[in-house]
A and B are shown apart, each in its own frame.
Chain A
C-alpha cells in the first residue's frame, strides 16, 4: 500500500505503518475467529483419532481424551490381527490400483483431447467440449443404476477396471477444462516452429505439449486421486467378490454389524485417510495453482 503512494515533493512522507494491523480489537477478533475455525475443522477429525487411540474396553467411556492412549488398534489393522481387518492390505491394494489407473487414464485421455481442442484448430472440437461440459454437470450418482446394469453387458462387472472407468468418466471433463486453460498460456508458435522442422502432431504432443503442461498434470492428477479415494457408491455396487473388496466397503460392512470394535474401525479409517492427505500436502502448491487458474477469470 504505502509503496504505491510516492511521497510528493515538499510534503513530509506518509507514515509507513498501516494503522489497522496494530489495533488490539482487530487482533482479538482475528484470534477468536481463528480459534473458532480451528475447533470447527478439527472436532470430527479429533473424535476419529481419539476413538482410534483407545483400547476396545474404553470406547464406551465418556472422557474427552483417551484415558490410556495406545497404538494397539493401528497395530492390529496393520498386521491384520482381527478377523474384520484380515484382508486390509488386499483392500488398500485394490484402492491403490483404482486410484493409480484413474490418474493415468484421466491424464492421458484429458491431455490428448485438450491437445486437439486447444492446439489443432479442429473444426468440430466444440462438439467434444459440449460433450465434456454435459458430463461435468450430471450428478455421478444418478447414473449408478444404469451403469450397474451396463457393466454386466460390458463384462466389466466385479472387475476393478469398472470403477476405474467410472472415475475416469467423471474426472476427464475437469481435466479437459483445466488443460485447455493452462495450454492457452503456452505459445502456439512453439508448435508451429516444430512443424516447420517436420514434427508430426504426435511428436509435438509428446515432446512439447506434455512437458510444458507438467504443473497442470500434477494438479489434475491429484484431483483425480482425491476423487477416486472419495468414492463409495460405485465400489459398493460394481464390486462384489472378496477379491475386489475395498476399504470403504469394508468400513461400511463394519458399520452395519452390531459388535463392531469401533477403535479398530476408526484406526482403519485414519489409515485410509492418510495417503490422500499426504499427497494433497505434497502437491499443494500445484493444486492451488490449478484451482486459482480455474476460479478467477470472471
Chain B
C-alpha cells in the first residue's frame, strides 16, 4: 500500500486527471463496460421478478375469486392461522435469539463449543429435518411420546391430530430451524458494541438486567427492528414448515396462506384462485416492504 501511494504521488497530475474522469462517472467505452456488466442482473430481474410480479397481479384480478375465498371457512381459518403463525413464530424466535446471543457471549470453552452444535439446525436442509420432526411427533410411534413415557411416564397427546397442537408444533419447528441464524446475527451485533460503553455504564451502576435494558437493547434496537420486519416477510412466505410438519392437517385446519395458495392452484387446479389467496397477504406485505426498503437503503444494516 505505501509503495503504491508513493508511486502514485510521483505522477500526481495524471492521477488527478484519471480520478476526475473516474469519479464523474463512466464515459465512452467505460460506460459500455458498465452497461455490459449490468446486463445479466437486469435480465434476471426483468424475466424472473418483474414479469412474474406483474403476472401475479393480473392473475388475481377477478373479484369472483375473492368472493369465493371469503365464503370459504377453510380460508378464514387460514387467515387466523397465518396471523398466529407469523406473530408467534417471529417474536418467539427473535426474542429467543436475542437472549441466547447474550448467553453465547460468555467466554467459557463449554459455551464456545456449544455454539458449533447449536448452529446445526441452520445448516441442515429443511425437508429432511421437517420430515423427521413429522415422524417424531407421531402420536403412536413418535420419538417424542416415547421419550415422555420413558422419562416422565406421561402419555403424550397425538400432536398432529388437533388444530392447536398442530399449529404449536409448526411454530416450534420453525423456531427450532431458524433461531440459530438470528442468534448469529445478534451475536455479531453484540460484539460490535464497544467494550468501553459497558465499562462506562458499569461505573454508573448499570449491571445485570439493567445493563441489558439500558445499554445492550437500545444499541441493538435498530438491528432488532430490521430483523423483525425481514423475518415477518419470510415467515409469511414460508411453505416448507407447514407443508411437511402437519401437511396442513388435520382437515386443512393448520394451513397458512402460502400452502393454501399452492393447494388451490395445483391440487384444485385453479391458479387464479390460488393467486388470489396469496394476494390477500398484500395489505400486510406492502407496508412491511415499504418500511423495510426505506430502512435497509438508509442504514448500513444488511443481512
Establish whether residues B129 and A138, one from each chain, have CB atoms under 8 Å apart when the complex forms: no
Contact with B along A136-176 (1 / 0, CB 8 A): 11111111111111100010000000000110110010101
Question: Which one, A34, A122, A154, contacts B110 given CB within 8 A?
Answer: A34
Separation of A47 and B135 alpha carbons in the complex (Å): 9
Question: Can you list 27 A-B contacts with CB-CB less than 8 angstroms, sorted by A residue number?
Answer: A34-B111, A45-B132, A47-B133, A62-B146, A64-B150, A112-B37, A113-B38, A116-B38, A131-B41, A132-B45, A134-B49, A144-B261, A145-B262, A148-B265, A148-B266, A150-B52, A172-B41, A193-B7, A201-B30, A251-B128, A266-B132, A269-B131, A272-B127, A280-B119, A295-B303, A297-B192, A298-B300
| Bound form: Cα–Cα A12–B143 in Å | 60
Q: Which of A43, A132, A144, A201 has the most CB of B within 10 A?
A: A144
Asked if B212 is at the interface (CB within 8 A of a chain A CB), the reply is no
Q: Judging by beta carbons under 8 Å apart, are B189 and A131 in contact?
A: no
Q: Mark B257-275, 1 if CB is under 8 A from A, else 0.
A: 0100110011000010011
Interface range on chain B: under 10, 10 to 19, 20 to 34, or 35 or more? Answer: 35 or more
Q: How many residues of A contact B (CB 8 A)?
A: 112
What sequence of 0s and 1s flags, for each residue 212-233 of chain B, a beta carbon within 8 Å of any chain A beta carbon? 0000000110110000001001
A63 touches B146 (CB 8 A): yes
Cα of A44 to Cα of B206 in the assembled complex, Å: 39
Alpha-carbon distance A48/B137, docked complex (angstroms): 12
A60-B47 contact, Cβ under 8 Å, with A34-B114, A37-B100: no
Q: In chain B, what residue has the closest Cβ to A129?
A: B297
In the complex, how many residue pairs between chain A and chain B have their CB atoms under 8 Å apart?
Answer: 335
Chain B positions within 8 Å of A63 at CB level: 146
Q: Return the contact of A145 from the options B33, B143, B261 (Cβ within 8 A).
A: B261
Chain A residues near B19 (CB, 8 Å)? 192
A63 to B184, CA, bound (A): 35
Question: Which A residues are within 8 Å of any B CB, using their own CB?
Answer: 4, 21, 30-31, 33-34, 37-38, 40-48, 50-51, 59-64, 108-110, 112-113, 115-116, 120-123, 128-150, 154, 165-166, 168-169, 172, 174, 176-178, 181, 187, 189-193, 195-196, 200-202, 205, 226, 229-230, 232-233, 237, 248, 251-252, 255, 262, 265-266, 268-270, 272-273, 276-277, 280-281, 288, 291-292, 294-298
B interface SS class: helix
**B130 CB to closest chain A CB, in angstroms?**
9
- Interface residue? B251 (CB, 8 A): no
Q: Are A201 and B146 in contact (CB under 8 A)?
A: no
Contact assessment for B52 and A123 in the assembled complex, using a CB-CB cutoff below 8 Å? no
Residues of A within 8 A of B261 (CB): 142, 144-145
Whether the Cβ atoms of A178 and B301 lie closer than 8 Å is: no
Q: What is the distance, in angstroms, from A126's C-beta to the closest C-beta of chain B? A: 9
**How long is the Cα–Cα vector from A21 to B103 in the complex, in angstroms?**
14
Please name all residues of chain B whose beta carbon is closer than 8 Å to the beta carbon of A147 when the two chains form the complex: 48, 52
User: Which residue from chain A places its CB closest to the CB of B222 in the assembled complex?
Assistant: A298
What distance in Å separates the Cβ of B218 from its nearest Cβ neighbour in chain A?
10
Q: Which of B21-29, B64-72, B157-165 contacts A (4 or more CB under 8 A)?
A: B21-29
Interchain CB contact (< 8 A) of B258 among A121, A142, A169, A262? A142
Asked whether B184 lies within 8 Å of A288 as measured between CB atoms, the reply is yes
Digit string of B266-303 for contact with A (CB within 8 Å is 1, else 0)? 10000100110010010001001100110011011111
Interface of A is mostly: helix
A63 to B147, alpha carbons, bound, how many Å?
8
A255 with B131: CB separation less than 8 A: yes
With an 8 A cutoff between CB atoms, is B74 at the interface? no
Query: Residue A192 contacts which of B15, B30, B296 (CB distance < 8 angstroms)?
Result: B15
The answer to whether A169 touches B48, judged by C-beta atoms less than 8 angstroms apart, is yes
Q: Measured between alpha carbons, how far is A3 from B15 in the docked complex, in Å?
A: 45
Q: A201-B30, A205-B37, A276-B123 are in contact. Are A109 and B128 (CB under 8 A)?
A: no
Inter-chain contacts of B240 with A (CB < 8 A): 230, 232-233
> Chain A residues near B127 (CB, 8 Å)?
230, 232, 248, 251-252, 269, 272
